[in-house]
Structure formats: structure tokens, C-alpha cells
């Protein structure tokens, strides 16, 4: 299988760097082909702007969606964007690995999403009608592929618990797991999260590494998160709200997961 | 009063550009001093890295927190960072204005947060003891200032409703409002959100503009969101979990707001 690791940490000699190197070896030893997009090493352009198209639409003001669509449809995307899209198409699984900075992914990785997720590629796909609202949330270009987050956090696990002050980790990751990964079609596996990274010393590191290794070994067998498909009957279209008989009375992120 | 608008849209001739210009004029007409950090126009460096310190720690590998602390304490920050911190110190109110891209702020603005929010400035402030866990979540360098989000979204309002497929807007904005603004001390006002921006034409624009104007007129009178102060008695320290008698049985982001 082909695995793409998109990796966002500025220092190779870090916990993240060690875990990245470990993941590559573990996956390769299991016979997989691994590609790494090391965004800092690639000096990835983080900010989406008009320069992302080789030729701009004539006379038009820059529109992030329309310009993205125009460039994608006409083969006018910057080469760095097209190359990452090709890696995604060839991948059977995607791993996004990053340190949690201010309760989300680092800017450089957010900029990878914004620029690589072109209109026509990751959004603006499929018909909009009375029964469908585009190919998104469980359908789309990346359907059939798996995705998983590998996240490090400086804070304590309790701070990210159900009643922890940072908010529950599942809720903090929902906009990424559901809004960025499930949206264009990925099956999203439960995340691998390391807490209190300042305490991961030489004694603790083997535990973290082995736990990650076990998750990588089960990449193809792990049950994905049971997000509800947008066009699968659970939502009213075009409002895209849960039908009254689905998770009745429930609100918030968790209502979009079909717990068994 | 001094108002700082940190603005992140690549095209001045956009809805965001119009609303930004309108806000500046409305606030200035009311007698306020307004500064705008127009991140795209400034070609803001989005990615946090070792170049953010003028002199690196000798012989050490790059550590985002320790290097930030070292540079902040010793006056060795890049000038673009120090300048934005000075703007924050001088501001009585901060407005973050941005289009919602993939359910969060654009990368360029996330990179403003990551780089300007230095260790010792926005985090790593105050004592850690049995009763306090640093000056954060309601206390910190930016205490006494107000902050508000001005956000545009392409999607429909129903998609962001309590049972909408994107997740409720309040939950999507929680990591920003609570984790980025309340964390270093801001009082956070309810956000101003424009939905379905593709439908904001010349007929609709005056409504949007006037609604924003009314919010700007009440910037100093609007009741802030009632986030619970970390060191105010609602949380067990150092676990930073809600005490059992606070919002009993409740989990998730909303538990951290003291609804009246």
C-alpha cells in the first residue's frame, strides 16, 4: 500500500522528527511504500493567494474559490500544488503529523490544506440537487482512502478530557477529522495523540513509539470513526441538518457520529 | 479607544475588503484610533521557525517554546513579531477579521497567532502552584482588552446550526475564541458572522454592513461571552477539569461557559 505522511515540524531533532522517522521505517518494513511531505524542509508556501495560478483569470479580481477552480480545470495550478494532489491520488492512506499549536494544526499545514484542496478536487465536486448536496462528507475525490492524525500536545491529558479546560480532544480535532478529512471522502481512523510532550524522555519514548507502531500495524484493520454520510439519508437536503429522528435532541459535533 | 484590526484576505476588492474599509471608517468616525494589520498586504511570514529569533540559542536544537521564550526575554525577536506585540499592548480592542477556510482561520492568520503569541507574552505567564495554573484563560498579558471575530462563510447558516453538518458555529469558533483570545486574557464578544457570502450582492450588502456597524457601535457595551476563569474556583488545579458541582454532568465546549 502507498502511505503519504504530511509532516509539519520545524526541527528534525524533535519528538515529532523521531516519530516521523520511526513511522517511515515501520511502514516500509511492513512492505508499504511511504512518501513524506516534510513541509518545513520543502519550504512549503503557506499562504493561499493569486500566485497559486500560473495564469490569472483575465480582468477579474482574485477569488479564492473561482481562481482555484479555473486553475485546477485548466492545468494552471502551481506545480507544488499539483504535485501534492498527485501524491494524494496515489496514496492509499494519509497521515497528518503535527504538534498542536493553539488548539489546531500549525499554519504551514493549514496552508497545505488550503492550497492543495482545490475547488473541483476537494470541494465543489458533484451535483447539487434535492437529494444530494455535492460529493462531500463521506463522498468525493478521496473516497476509499484512509486517514489518521498523529498529534503531539504539550498540555496534560486531563486538560483535554471531557471536562478539561482546553475542551475535549475529540471536539478540538473534529474540524480537522470531519471538516478536512471526511469532507473529501477519507475514512478517518481514531487519532494518535501524545500528551505532555515535555515529559517524554528516554525512558518514556519507547512506550510512545511502540503504541504508535501498533497503530501503524493496524492501519488497514482499524475501524474508522462512524461519521454520518451527508447524502446517506441522515440529513435534510439542502439544509444539511440532521433529520429529527437521527440522534434526536442531540446537538454539537458528536451528533454527527453514529455510535453503535 | 485604540482598535487593532488583524485582517486576512488576499483580495482588497472583496466582501471582506469592503467590510474592513467600512469598519475602519465607522470606528474612526466614532473617535477611535484604528490600526490595521493587513496580513496579505504586509506579506506576513506565516510559518514559525528558527528565523523568528535574531540570535539562536547556542548549540541547541530549535524548540518552538524555548526559543520563543529566549527571544522574547532577551529582545531577540524578529522585528515583525515585536511590532505586532506592541500593537496588541496599545490596543483596547482587537478584531480578527477573516474568511472561514476549512472550518478555521486562514493559514496566514494562524501564523500571526503562532509567531506573535510568544512564550512569556501570551503563554508561559504566571506562577504554577496548587491553586493557580499560570495566568491563562481569563488572566494574562492582554487582560482588560476586548476581542471580537468578524467572519465570513460561504456555506449556509443552517449548515452551521446546532444540528448542521459542519457543526455549530459556536463550537467551530471555540478553539479561537476560548483557546486563542480568552487564553491570554481578552474579554471575548460574540462573533459577527456572515453566511452564504456568494449571495451578498449589492441589494444585500447594506444589511450586512449596517449589522456590523451596529456591533462596532456597541463594542464597549456588549456583554462578553461568560467563559469561566481557570483560576476562579471552577476548576480543579492542576488537572484543569471542571469541579463536579460546576455544570454537573456536562461535557464539551459549552460547559466552559457560565450561562445565566
Q: How far apart are CA A61 and CA A45, in angstroms?
A: 21
Question: Predicted confidence band at A260 (pLDDT cuts at 50, 70, 90)?
Answer: low
With 70 as the cut, is the pLDDT of residue B22 above it? yes
Give B-chain residues touching A48 at CB under 8 angstroms.
10, 101, 106-107
Q: What's the pLDDT at B123?
A: 98
Closest-CA residue of chain A to B164 = A241
The pLDDT tens digits for B168-183 are 999 999 999 999 999 9
Q: What's the pLDDT at A57?
A: 82
Question: Predicted confidence band at A125 (pLDDT cuts at 50, 70, 90)?
Answer: very high
The pLDDT tens digits for B53-95 are 998 887 889 999 999 999 999 999 999 999 999 999 999 999 9
Q: What's the pLDDT at B260?
A: 62
Return the domain boundaries, chain A.
Answer: 2-224
Q: For residues A130 and B213, which has the higher predicted lDDT (pLDDT)?
A: B213
Q: Looking at the DSSP assignment, which residues form a beta bridge with residue B194? A: B152
* CATH number given to A2-224: 3.40.50.360
Nearest-5° angle of CA A10, CA A113, CA A57?
A: 120
The pLDDT tens digits for A69-122 are 999 999 999 999 999 999 999 999 999 999 999 999 999 999 999 999 999 999
Residues 6+ apart with CB under 8 A from A125: A134, A135, A136, A140, A141, A184
Q: What's the pLDDT at A124?
A: 96
- Cell matching residue B228: 469561566
Q: Looking at the DSSP assignment, which residues form a beta bridge with residue A119? A: A123
**A170: left (phi > 0), else alpha (psi -120 to 50), else beta?**
alpha
Q: How far apart are CA A133 and CA B158, in angstroms?
A: 13
- If 0-12 CB within 10 Å is exposed, 13-18 middle and 19+ buried, where does residue B144 land? exposed
- Is residue B168 a contact partner of residue B155, using CB atoms and an 8 Å limit? no
- Cell matching residue A47: 499562504
Nearest alpha carbon to residue A168 among B138, B173, B251, B180: B251
Kind and range of the H or E element at B148? strand B146-152
Q: What CATH fold (topology level) applies to the domain B2-225? A: Rossmann fold (3.40.50)
Residue with cell 437529494: A131
The pLDDT tens digits for A137-165 are 999 999 999 999 999 999 999 999 999 99
Residues 6+ apart with CB under 8 A from B164: A239, A240, A241, B158
| Residue in A159, A161, A240 nearest the CB of B164 | A240
- Quote the ipTM score: 0.97
| Residue in A178, A230, A242 nearest the CB of B163 | A242
Q: How far apart are CA B67 and CA A208, in angstroms?
A: 25
Q: How far is A44 from chain B (nearest CA, A)?
A: 9
Amino acid at each position: 500500500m502507498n502511505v503519504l505522511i504530511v509532516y509539519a515540524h520545524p526541527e528534525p531533532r524533535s519528538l515529532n522528527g523521531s516519530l516521523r522517522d520511526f513511522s517511515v521505517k515501520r511502514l516500509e518494513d511492513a512492505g508499504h511504500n511511504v512518501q513524506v511531505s516534510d513541509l518545513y524542509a520543502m519550504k512549503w508556501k503557506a499562504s493561499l493567494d493569486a500566485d497559486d495560478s500560473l495564469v490569472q483569470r483575465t480582468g477579474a479580481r482574485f477569488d479564492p474559490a473561482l481562481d482555484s477552480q479555473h486553475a485546477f480545470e485548466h492545468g494552471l495550478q502551481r506545480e507544488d500544488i499539483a504535485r501534492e494532489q498527485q501524491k494524494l491520488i496515489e496514496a492509499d492512506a494519509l497521515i497528518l503529523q503535527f504538534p498542536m499549536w493553539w488548539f489546531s494544526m500549525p499554519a504551514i499545514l493549514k496552508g497545505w490544506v488550503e492550497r492543495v484542496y482545490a475547488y473541483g478536487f476537494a470541494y465543489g465536486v458533484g451535483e447539487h440537487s434535492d437529494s444530494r448536496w455535492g460529493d462531500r462528507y463521506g463522498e468525493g475525490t478521496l473516497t476509499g482512502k484512509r486517514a489518521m492524525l498523529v498529534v503531539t500536545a504539550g498540555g496534560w491529558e486531563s486538560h483535554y478530557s471531557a471536562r478539561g479546560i482546553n475542551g475535549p480532544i475529540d471536539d478540538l480535532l473534529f474540524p480537522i477529522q470531519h471538516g478536512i478529512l471526511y469532507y473529501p471522502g477519507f475514512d478517518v481512523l481514531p487519532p494518535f495523540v501524545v500528551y505532555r510532550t515535555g515529559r517524554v524522555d528516554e525512558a518514556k519514548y519507547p512506550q510512545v513509539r511502540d503504541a504508535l507502531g501498533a497503530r501503524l500495524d493496524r492501519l488497514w484493520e482499524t475501524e474508522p470513526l462512524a461519521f454520518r454520510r451527508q447524502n446517506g439519508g441522515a440529513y435534510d437536503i439542502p439544509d444539511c441538518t440532521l433529520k429529527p429522528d437521527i440522534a434526536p435532541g442531540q446537538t454539537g459535533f458528536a451528533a454527527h457520529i453514529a455510535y453503535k
